[in-house]
Amino acid sequence: MPRLFARPVWPALVLSLVLAACGQEPPKEWMTDTRVPFVDYGLVWMDNDRLMFQRMEYDAKKAEKDNPWAAFTFPLSVWSDEGGLETLSRADITNPCYAPATDTLSYQAGHDGSGATFVAGRPGAMTKTPLNTNEDSRLFNRFICAYQDRPANLEGRILVPLKPGDGVVDLGRQRSADAGRLIKADVAAIPLPFSQNEVSPEGISADGDGYLVHARTKRGADCRPIWRLVPGTGATEEACLPEMKSSRVVRTALGWALDKREYDRDGDIGDSGIFLARPDGETIKLASGFTENLAASPDGCRLAFGQARDLNTSCTDGTYKQKTVKIIDLCRLKGEILGEQ
């Protein structure tokens, strides 16, 4: 994908594009509402139809005076157009992960410390392994949903293991300005054009035979860089997108999708929502409201996200039901979204 704009012209262009988008609210019918309540625990496409996440359930009988969250549970679930809603686990879990290449699912059952268990395998055939309270010698690889040994002589560094054979991204020592490196066994380290000040481990995602690296949001920045990382070669900047305080940026079949954050402590969400940044520089608003956990299907045709009309969506009076998983079928709506009809 070509670079969207040269940096020097970004500020004026971004302002004009965003102002243009602000005045046009997207049609509500673009969104499909699954009607499944959702909390900020992540969305993962297992394929182009099945979406995995932890839904939110409330049981007033379990409510405690000093702990209202005791009434909530978060079953690991799969939703699809044809199959509807399926429950994978009702256990108290964290860190759900799915690796499409091997059809491997994993999660942690129980809390950190004694008694925590790592559960992994194919759905319906999971194995349990007690978690060691000292995991300093191992790294969790979210591209294969499994633990692996930490490379020798790299203690105290922020490491992101990639797919087998691709090496490890070293983001440097904790709280340092060390430049990033791509490290593979028996091969000289390859310098990378970013550091942990610019990139978080969660900002690295798989993209075909390579990876996309998204810069952190930065106040006052002209734009937000995205690099393409190719194992054995290094990383080059692929695009620089409008800075919208986005927590997520994903590649889609129609361009880059971003979730814009523009809310304050009083619950005013301003022009928050989901935006599409086209390769030609056009910015299109796809959805309004408080949105989070943007995820694109493998073919780039479908966007999933949590969406509600305001910030007050996790209350015991039932308003938590307002925040549900929504889906936009970009390929089906391409003509309407791009104004080609």
pLDDT-derived band of residue 8, with 50, 70 and 90 as boundaries? very low
Could you write out the DSSP letters of every residue in 125-183? Answer: EEEEEEPPS--TTEEEETTTTEEEEPPTT-TTEEEEE-STTS-EEEEEETT--PEEEEE
Q: Is 312 within the bounds of a domain?
A: yes
Examine residue 142 and state whether it is found in any structural domain, yes or no. Answer: yes
- In the numeric block, which tokens belong to residue 4? 């969207």
Segment 216-228 mean pLDDT: 85
Q: Which helix (H) or strand (E) holds 89?
A: strand 84-89
DSSP label of 197: T
pTM: predicted TM-score of the whole model, two decimal places: 0.85
pLDDT digits (tens, 9 = 90+) for 36-62: 998 777 899 999 999 999 998 888 888
Q: Is residue 326 part of a domain?
A: yes
Tell whether the model's pLDDT for residue 297 goes beyond 50: yes
Predicted local confidence at residue 139, as pLDDT? 92
Is 1 inside a domain boundary? no
**Token pair 């039932």: residue:** 318
Q: Which is higher by pLDDT, 262 or 72?
A: 72
User: At residue 81, does pLDDT exceed 60?
Assistant: yes
pLDDT tens track for 99-127? 998 999 999 987 655 568 899 999 888 99
SS3 label, residue 8: helix
Number of domain units in the chain:
1
Work out the mean pLDDT of the chain and round it to a whole number. Answer: 84
| Residue 2 lies inside a defined structural domain of this protein | no
Per the structure, the complete domain to which residue 305 belongs is given by: 7-337
User: DSSP characters for 233-300?
Assistant: TEEEEEEEE-----S-EEEETTEEEEEE----TTS--TT-EEEEE-TTS-EEEEEESEEEEEEE-TTS
Residue 14: the pLDDT is 42
> Is 148 part of a structural domain of the chain?
yes
- Is the predicted pLDDT of residue 190 greater than 60, yes or no? yes
For residue 98, what is the domain's CATH number? 2.130.10
